[in-house]
Amino acid sequence: MIQRYLPLLLGLSGTIYSQAQVRPSSTSPTAYTFTEGLVALTGSRYGREAIYTDPLAYQLYTNALKKPAEGAVFGTDEQGREIRWVPVTADSLKRLRLRGNVRGNGGAPAGPGVVAGSLRGGIGGGGGYTYLTYDSPREQVALLNIRGNSNVYVNGELHMGDAYSMGYLHIPVRLKKGLNELYVRGVSVSANLSFPNQPALLRTDDPTLPSIRTGEANTALQGAVVVLNTSTKPLTGLQLSSRLAGRQQTTPLPAIPALSSRKVTFTFDGSGVSNIGPQACELTLTQNGKTLDQGSVSVESVAPDKSYSRTFVSQIDGSLQYYAVTPQSSPGNGPSALFLSVHGAGVEASGQARAYKAKDWGNLVAATNRRPRGFNWEDWGRLDALEVLALAKNQFKPDPQHVYLTGHSMGGHGTWFLGATYPDKWAAIAPCAGYPTLKEYGSADGVIPDSSSNPLEQMLLRSGNQSDVLKLTSNYKPLGVYVFHGDADRTVPVTYARQMRKLLGESQPDMSYYEYPGGSHWFGDHSVDWKPLFDFFKWHTILPDSAVNTIDFTTANPGISSSFRWAAIEQQERPLVYSRMQLKRDGKAITGTTTNVALLKLALDEFGPNAPVSITLDGQPALTHTTGSAHDTLYVRRDGNRWRPVQRPALTQKGPHRNGTFKDAFTNRMVFVYGTRGTKDENDWTWQKARFDAETWYYRGNGAVDIIADTEYSPAKYANRGVVLFGNATTNAAWKTLLADCPIQLERNQVRAGDQQWQGDDLAAYFVWPINGSATASVAVVGGTGLKGMRAASANQYFAGASGFPDFMIFGLDMVRTGSQGVRMAGFFDNSWKLTPANYTVNNQPNAAN
């Protein structure tokens, strides 16, 4: 992106212009559109990794950023050429564009029901910043709406951007009297301010809604809309009333912190609806009986045989999500098949489901990935797919031998990924127009870096190993695989399909491959609803465990995927290095080999009670175990070169239930806890950072999260819930409760990790730690040793799909300028949550961990 603008930006060395600044009249309008600004292609690196660099942010955080002026030099690029601020003006679409050498973001890849306005690019792009100013006649609150940006600093406060130009991100901001400065990360953006005259607003432009299915009860349906708090105090005592076809319901709402927003769940009664088509549901927001705002949403009423949407409360964060269904056309007497379809970028699950004609032998369910772009079906997108699969199994009670997976484009990648990660959940998979790995095709957030010669970067990149399905191809062996791709696809070239055909050709025993002649990326509904594909599915079944006597399974993270059939990799020797088990069950014996496995779990159901079982692993002497019941389970641990039986490890150790990595804490209905025990600037940062992460979670993941002060937190009130703690031991009162026994201690002017120690106010850390008293929940720390260090931790690339973050990472503000050179230490805790040198790397120190 930078190269496209360099001729224009670098050719202005001879002229200095007066600064462009907005000066509205002394009476504030009800809305204001920015029509002028300045752009500098400063360069930045935000992607699917823990390290980020941003020259402008670094200058801002160190108070070295000079006020932009037209033609003024911001700095120099990697080739030593000057980077200058140049003017931009709004075009007919109100986008602030550089003239003569600019192109906007391209549209979303073709697919069923692509969301209007959905644009490609932006979140991870490294273009530059747009500088905007607003001269306010007084201190006041405004709603900021920007499209096409990754984030924005408003008078130094960081807020989420609308990278895909969806239009529904409305951010309450406090304007000071006089000059207000906005540094917008992005170019070719549009921006406006509106000035609310009430403390709370309903926004109904981003609803999550179910369908009303005629013939069903429809008395307790759930939807969700956004409530904005435009006041400087928390809003409590809120209620949201719904009225539809004469039926009314009222829902109490959670508190909305000052100058923030939250997507809230409400109930409504659709039992009074008998007509097909859109139905207006009126909403009224009240506080202690006083009406604050009103609005309406359109709920679709559908016939029982049509595709529909169903909402549910996600256990990831407690927010309302949905999935879409194309129901079976003619239900039979017995269990039916179940098809899980995962959509492409920019596609709603409802559109994905409607692309399929009803099948007479099964129900089709489409998950959301939490958003049309979401998380590339990894991280929380993966968890959403698993939640929907479980809900669909409970709803439809399918034949357990007939469960299938398919998807298109980004969902083609999702099919490759979910298929390799959970091979025992499917009878067959069918990626359509898909790419296998984010190391080769990155979309908006860029690609995952493939390798590095730097030991510390190797440690960081290891965190994303599970994403690389090219290392997991042996997991496809039990599956039927149908690869479908248009041979004229210019969005996701057919070379990706051919790559997988070649890679699997020698090892995959059951694969079918078809290139659609002349097929583009989307050539109609038969791009996914392809009869030979579903015929292929019909020929395949999931065998019962009793019929599966050979296992070949690889995982990089037992916390994501640990088991196949009757065996599981419970713990690893080297965290997040690929682990493999190749086992054979024959008669009264199990034999096989393992790689990077510390603890193995074996289900011995097929041997019966009181049966002697011989177990030979890695060529070591056989173990003999006599089963105690018909459903016996054996754990065996590797000690050096020998295997020995052990008891099931305590849940306080690492395992599939909780295996670490920093991102693992962002589940279990997590709560954000900001600090109140620091200086005013430190406290302001922790609150603003919590709000920024909540905004990002909403935008990327259609999520909602509780934000509370450290003094409000208690283990009893928030039992078994994940925690994200902002600040350090000095500034956050919840630290002692959650992290007193952690070997990493972050406090004012100092950070300690085992016997490693660093001093200064410019250090930062991300790390995870298990919460005492919970078998599953963890706390993630986002903080620094002082305001400079805290600012270094402001970025949140941990929300980028498949970005790898280890258990802990300690870095300095200099990382924002120099990259990995600024990282002090990174790595993993061992299986007992201890720091051992083999599992971490200290920068510029030799280490054998990699």
pLDDT of res. 121? 34
Q: What contacts 153, CB < 8 A, 6 or more positions away?
A: 60, 159, 181, 182, 183
Residues 669 and 799 in one domain: yes
Residues 230 and 331 in one domain: no
Q: Could you tell me what percent of the chain has a pLDDT over 70?
A: 93
Residue with tokens 């708090």: 229
Rounded to an integer, what distance in angstroms lies between the CA atom of residue 65 and that of residue 71?
15
Q: Mind listing the pLDDT tens digit for each residue in 521-545?
A: 999 999 999 999 999 999 999 999 9
Rounded to an integer, what distance in angstroms lies between the CA atom of residue 367 and that of residue 415?
12
Residue 203 belongs to a domain: no
* DSSP conformational letter for 199: S
CB hemisphere CA count around 129 (13 angstroms) = 27
Domain boundary residue among 194, 228, 259?
194
pLDDT of res. 3? 37
pLDDT of res. 451? 78
CATH code of the domain in which 700 resides: 3.30.379
pLDDT of res. 8? 33
Residues 708 and 833 in one domain: yes
Distances (CA, A) of 706 to 319, 490, 665: 10, 43, 14
Residue 207 belongs to a domain: no
Query: Which stretches of the chain score pLDDT less than 70?
Result: 1-29, 100-126, 845-850
Residues 244 and 153 in one domain: no
Residues 18 and 125 in one domain: yes
Its pTM stands at 0.94
pLDDT of res. 9? 36
Residues 586 and 697 in one domain: no
Q: Mind listing the pLDDT tens digit for each residue in 16-75?
A: 222 333 333 344 568 999 999 999 999 999 999 999 999 999 999 999 999 999 999 999
pLDDT of res. 445? 82
Rounded to an integer, what distance in angstroms lies between the CA atom of residue 415 and that of residue 430?
7
Rounded to an integer, what distance in angstroms lies between the CA atom of residue 401 and that of residue 679?
60
pLDDT of res. 99? 74
Which H helix or E strand runs over 700?
A: helix 680-701
pLDDT of res. 442? 76
Domain boundary residue among 599, 615, 646?
646
Residue 134 belongs to a domain: yes
Residues 613 and 642 in one domain: yes
Q: What contacts 410, CB < 8 A, 6 or more positions away?
A: 109, 342, 343, 344, 345, 369, 373, 376, 377, 434, 443
Residue 523 belongs to a domain: yes
pLDDT of res. 109? 52
Q: Which structural domain range is residue 598 located in?
A: 545-646
pLDDT of res. 453? 83
Tokens standing for residue 503: 């890679």
Whether the CB-CB separation of 634 and 602 falls below 8 Å is answered with yes
Phi, psi angles (nearest 5°) of residue 782: -125, 110
pLDDT of res. 293? 98
Residue 849 belongs to a domain: no
Residue 88 belongs to a domain: yes
CATH code of the domain in which 316 resides: 3.40.50.1820
Residue 850 belongs to a domain: no
Residues 754 and 620 in one domain: no
Residue 461 belongs to a domain: no
Q: Pick the closest to residue 700 from 160, 154, 126, 46 (CA basis).
A: 160
Residues 375 and 435 in one domain: yes
Residues 628 and 676 in one domain: no
Domain boundary residue among 646, 670, 701?
646
Residues 228 and 125 in one domain: no
Residues 6 and 76 in one domain: yes
pLDDT of res. 504? 95
> How many domains would you assign to the chain?
5
